Chains A and B, each alone.
Chain A
Amino acid sequence: MTMIFGVPLAVFMGQLTLGLVNGAFYALLSLGLAVIFGLLKIVNFAHGAQYMLGAFAALLGFRYLGINYWLALILVPLVVGGFGMLMERFLLRRIAHLDHLYGLLLTFGLALIFEGTLVNFFGVSGARYTTPEALQGGMNLGFMFLPTYRAWVLVAALTMCLFTWFMIERTRLGAYLRAGTENSQLMQAFGVNVPLLITLTYGFGVALAAFAGVLAAPLYPVSPTMGSSLLIVVFAVVVIGGMGSILGAILTGLGMGVIEGLTKVYYPEASNTVIFLVMILVLMLRPAGLFGKEA
C-alpha cells in the first residue's frame, strides 16, 4: 500500500476530500465577512449567529410551513439577508462614523442576544434536519465513501463563491460598490445612492452566511451555538487571507480546511489550534495577509 508520511494513500486522499468540503464552508463564511469588511469596514461579529439563523430558518420553515430544502436554499438567504439589512439600516448606520470597535461590540452583542434567545426556546442539543431525498446516499470513490450531500456542499459553496467574486470584481454594480467605499462623496455626487448600496451589501454578506447555514443544516445538528465555534476560525481565515480580499478569502478558506483535515490525521489534538498557528505565522511574516495589499 502506498504510504504518505506514514498514512495509507487512501486515508490521505479521504482526508483531503473532507478538508476541501469543510474548506468550502470556511470559504463561504469568510467570503461574507470579507465582503462586509472590505466594502463597509464593519467587523461583523454577528456572522456566526447569522449563519445559525440561516440553519434555524430552514429547520423551522420546514417544520411549520412545509418549505422544502431547495426552496429554503433560495428563500432563507433572502429573509435573513433582509433581516440583516434592517440591522444595518437601524443600528449599524448610527455608529458608522465611530471607531470600528463599536461596530464589533454591537454585532457581538446582537450575536449573543440571538443565541441566548434561541437557547432559551430550543436548548442546545440541537435538532436534525433531514437530508433532501435527492442528495441522500453516497458514492464510492475507491479510497473512501463520500456522502452525496457533502459533494453537493462542495459544488454549491464553490459556485456561490465564484458568483460573488464575479459580481464584485467583474460587473458594473460591483464597480459602483468598490468606488462607493473608496470615495462615497464623489459617488453620491454622480447620483449613486451610496447608503442604499451599503445596506444592500451588508444584506448580501448576511445572505451568504444564511446560505451557508442552510447548507450546513442537514450536516450538523441545528443548534443555537453552532455558529459561535465556527466564527473565530472564520475570522482567522480572513486574517490569513488578508482583510477585505475576496479571492484571498475563498482560496484561504479551502486551504485552511485542507490543513485542518490533515492535522486531524497526524495530530488530532491540535486540530482546533492549527489554523491559529498559521495565523500567527502569517501575521509575523506578511502582516497584511497572504492576499492582502500592504497598506
Chain B
Amino acid sequence: MTFIKKTLATSIAVAAASSIAISTAQAEISNGEVRIGYLADMSGTYRDLAGPGGQKALEMAVADFGGSVNGAPIVVFSADDRNSADVGANTVREWIDQRNVDMVAGLVASSVTIAVTRVLEENNGLGIVSGSAASSITNEHCTPNHIHWVYDTYPLANGTAQAVVEQGGDSWFLLTADYAFGHALEGDVRRVVEESGGEVVGGVRHPFPTSDFSSYILQAQGSGAKIVGLANAGADTVNAITTASQFGLTQSGQQLAGLLIFLNDVHALGLDATQGLLLTTGWYWDMDEEAREWSERYYAEMGRMPTMVQAGVYSSTMHYLKAVEAAGTDDPETVRAQMAEMPVEDFFARNGRIREDGRMIHDMYLAQVKTPEESTGEWDLYEILSTIPAEDAYRPLSDSQCKLVQN
C-alpha cells in the first residue's frame, strides 16, 4: 500500500513538474506558436527565382525541423508583394500587428526589402532577406532587425567584374535597372572596374521592368566598350541577352557580362544564347554531394532545380529555427543574437557567419555557363571555376556605413 502511495505521489510530482516545464517553454514562445511569414514576388518578374519555389523550400525546412520548436507548432503565412514597396510594407505591418508574425522570410525586390526592414525596425520584428541583391541593405539601410542571407551586389561585382577585367575587358558600358538594386550594383561594379584598372565609358538607366532592349543594345554597340555589363535581374536580364544576340552584339567583338544571373534565367535563355557567360553565385545545386542531395528532394516536389535564393530560404529558416530552439524563445533580439553566435555550415553555406551589420557572409563562387556540348542534362548549366572565400567576398566592415558597426 505504501509502495503504491509512494509511486502515485512520485508520478504526480513528476507529471506536475514536467507540465510546469512545458508551460514555461511555451510561455517563452509568443502565442505558443512560431509564426513565419513568407513575403515574395509570387506572380511577377521575380517569381521563378523565389516565388512559390521559395515557399516550398521554407515548408521543407519546417517539415524537416519536425513542425514544432520545443513543443510550439510552427505556422507559415505567405503573401505576394507584387514587387511593390507599399504592398510589402503594409503586409508586414499587418502580419506583426494582427497576426503576431515572429519572422519574415523571402524578401526579393530590394526596394520592397528596404521598406519592409524599416517596418521591422519600428515594430521590433525580425526579417531574413534571401532574395534581394542591394548591398545597401546591410550598409546604409542596416537595422538590428534583419539579416541578409544569400548574396549581395558587392560580391557579384567583386567576382564577375574583377574576373572580366582581368581577362582584358577593361572598358565597360552599363545597362542598369533604374531602382535601388540597379543603382547599388552599378556603384559596386564601377568601383571594382576602376580599382582593377578598367574604365566605365557609358551607361543607360532603363525603367524597371523593360521588355524592349533594342534601343539600349544599339547604344551599347555605339559606345565602343569591350564589355556590356547588365546591372539588372530577372526578366530584364533575359530580355537584354536575347536582344543582344539578335543584334549580333557578341559577333561584333563586344562581350556581355551578366552581373546577376539566376539559374532559372540561364534555363529560360538556353545554353546557345548564354554559353561562356561568367557569373557569380552564392550556391549551385550541383556544386557538391550535399547540395545535390537537397536539390533532388526539392526537384521531386517542384519539378525544377532550385535557385540559390530558394536554397537560401531553406538554409536561413533552418538556422532561425535552431536558434529559437537553442534560445528557448522567439523574442527577435534574443534569437538574432543566438543566430549570430552559431556558425552557419550546411548544404548551402560554407564558412558562414552572421556579422554585426546583419550580413551573413559565406563562400561565393565564380561560375561559367556551360556550352551545349558540355551540358549533360536540362539543369546541367554551370561549371564552378573558383571559390571566393567568405571573408574576401563581402564588403569589409572597415568600409561599412552601417550604424551598428563601430568605425
**A residues engaging B (CB < 8 A)?**
8, 10-11, 14-15, 18-19, 21-22, 116, 119, 123-128, 131, 138, 144-145, 147, 149-150, 219-221, 223, 225-226, 229-230, 261, 264-265, 268-269, 271-273
Contacts and interface: CB of A to CB of B under 8 A. Distances in A.
The 6 nearest A-B residue pairs measured at CB: A125-B268, A264-B215, A272-B207, A125-B48, A124-B47, A123-B48
Given A147-B246, A229-B209, A268-B204, A124 B235 contact: yes
B264 A125 contact: yes
A157 to B, nearest CB: 14
A41 to B, nearest CB: 30
B215 A128 contact: no
A128 B219 contact: no
B387 interface: no
B268 A126 contact: yes
Given A18-B215, A269-B205, A125 B222 contact: no
Contact of B218 (A15, A22, A271): A15
Given A147-B246, A221-B235, A223-B235, A124 B45 contact: yes
A128 B242 contact: yes
Contact of A144 (B178, B212, B218, B264): B218
A19 B44 CA distance: 26
A48 to B, nearest CB: 12
Given A18-B214, A268-B205, 20 more contacts: A116-B43, A119-B43, A119-B47, A123-B47, A124-B44, A124-B235, A125-B265, A126-B238, A126-B268, A138-B248, A144-B218, A145-B248, A149-B246, A219-B246, A220-B239, A221-B238, A221-B239, A221-B242, A221-B268, A229-B209
Contacts of A138: 246-248
Contacts of B204: 264, 268
B247 A226 contact: no
Contacts of A124: 43-45, 47-48, 235
B267 interface: yes
A109 to B, nearest CB: 16
Contacts of B215: 15, 18-19, 261, 264-265, 268, 271
Interface of B: 43-45, 47-48, 51, 178, 204-207, 209-212, 214-216, 218-219, 221-222, 235, 238-239, 242, 246-248, 252, 264-265, 267-270, 273
Contact of B216 (A22, A116, A230, A264): A264
A271 B207 contact: yes
12 contacts: A11-B218, A11-B219, A14-B218, A19-B215, A21-B214, A124-B47, A125-B265, A220-B211, A221-B239, A221-B268, A225-B45, A265-B215
Contacts of A15: 215, 218
A226 B222 contact: no
Contacts of A128: 242, 268-270, 273
A126 B235 contact: yes
Contacts of B252: 145
Contacts of A261: 215
Given A123-B48, A128-B269, A268 B216 contact: yes
Contacts of B222: 8, 10-11, 14
